[in-house]
């Protein structure tokens, strides 16, 4: 039997490997756009009250960030629930908690803190996410939140490429894989891949990605995986600084 070439092995892995079952834990990423001059008050409300009240009502705090871009007046945070079915019940329990209602009213005496709320619901990709990584505090670092929009029918292909090659190449170039998710979409829309990387700082992260993009090993993997068409249609990237009280930092 002739020895398979590296290209053939790559293609077999990408197009024959099925997705594993997703973890049952359900995640919610919320991005709050603060009203002008109100973000510091919003952050204080989270630090002094909201995190504790989330936990009291069965909602797990995962991470709290503000953008590295100082012109971006948002706060992004990630919560976790035992499963999708429990999300609404636990959120309603929190929203109707008398302690929260008291805190909310007191904090908005001088006007609303939040102008806009964006939500993304996600399930974790267990065979992409390193175990216990979010419980490890590496000290001062910046995070990069990346969202991939795939061409139709390419979710399995992107999953296999990350599982078998991309994450290892990220690590080779000094990037830390933190957490990987797939979005939960309505109306039959295709899932997006969302993940967090950690870098020493934004400059280092961008330099690492530039080296990764020029790596001959990555170019071989990318070209082989895209023999039947492009996989990724669009990528969104934002650099985030963890807040001092964030469980993940």
Same domain, yes or no: 132 and 36: no
Same domain, yes or no: 130 and 116: no
Of 98, 122, 146, the one marking the end of a domain is: 122
235 DSSP β-pair partners: 148
What pLDDT is attached to residue 188?
A: 86
Is residue 8 in a domain?
Answer: no
Same domain, yes or no: 130 and 238: yes
Give the position of tokens 């909310």. Answer: 104
CA nearest to 242, candidates 62, 122, 93, 87: 62
Same domain, yes or no: 113 and 141: no
Same domain, yes or no: 148 and 62: no
Same domain, yes or no: 107 and 154: no
Same domain, yes or no: 136 and 200: yes
- For the chain, strand residue ranges (E) read 26-34, 60-67, 74-81, 114-124, 142-150, 176-183, 193-199, 232-242
Q: Give yes or no for a contact between 183 and 192, defined as CB atoms under 8 angstroms apart.
A: yes
What's the structural domain count of the chain?
2
Q: What is the CATH number of the domain that holds 77?
A: 3.30.70.100
What pLDDT is attached to residue 13?
A: 43
Same domain, yes or no: 95 and 135: no
Same domain, yes or no: 98 and 148: no
Same domain, yes or no: 226 and 146: yes
Please give the residue range of the domain that contains residue 130. 125-242
Q: What is the pTM of this model?
A: 0.88
- Measure the N-to-C terminal CA separation of the chain; round to a whole number of Å: 51
C-alpha separations of 64 from 40, 95, 97, 106 in Å = 13, 19, 22, 22
Provide block-wise average pLDDT over 10 residues at a time, the chain (249 residues): 42 37 75 98 98 98 96 97 96 98 98 98 93 57 97 97 97 96 94 97 97 98 96 98 95
Is residue 247 in a domain?
Answer: no
Q: C-alpha 62: how far from its chain's center?
A: 11
What pLDDT is attached to residue 28?
A: 98
Of 122, 149, 172, the one marking the end of a domain is: 122
């Amino acid at each position: 039997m002739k020895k398979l070439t590296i290209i053939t092995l790559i293609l077999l892995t990408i197009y024959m490997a099925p997705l594993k079952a997703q973890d049952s834990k359900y995640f919610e990423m919320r991005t709050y756009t603060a009203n002008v001059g109100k973000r510091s008050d919003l952050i204080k409300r989270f630090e002094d009250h909201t995190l504790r009240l989330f936990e009291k009502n069965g909602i797990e705090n995962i991470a709290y960030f503000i953008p590295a871009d100082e012109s971006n007046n948002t706060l992004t945070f990630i919560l976790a629930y035992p499963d999708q079915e429990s999300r609404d019940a636990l959120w309603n329990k929190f929203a109707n908690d008398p302690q929260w209602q008291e805190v909310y009213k007191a904090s908005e005496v001088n006007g609303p803190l939040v102008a806009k709320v964006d939500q993304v619901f996600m399930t974790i990709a267990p065979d992409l996410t390193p175990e216990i990584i979010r419980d490890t505090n590496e000290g001062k670092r910046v995070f990069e939140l990346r969202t991939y929009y795939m061409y139709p029918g390419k979710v399995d292909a992107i999953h296999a490429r990350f599982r078998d090659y991309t994450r290892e190449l990220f690590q080779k170039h000094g990037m830390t894989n933190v957490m990987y998710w797939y979005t939960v979409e309505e109306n039959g829309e295709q899932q997006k891949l969302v993940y967090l990387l950690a870098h020493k700082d934004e400059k280092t992260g961008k330099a690492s990605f530039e080296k990764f993009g020029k790596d001959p090993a990555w170019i071989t993997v990318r070209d082989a995986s895209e023999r039947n068409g492009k996989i990724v249609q669009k990528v969104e990237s934002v650099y985030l600084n963890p807040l001092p009280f964030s469980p993940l930092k």
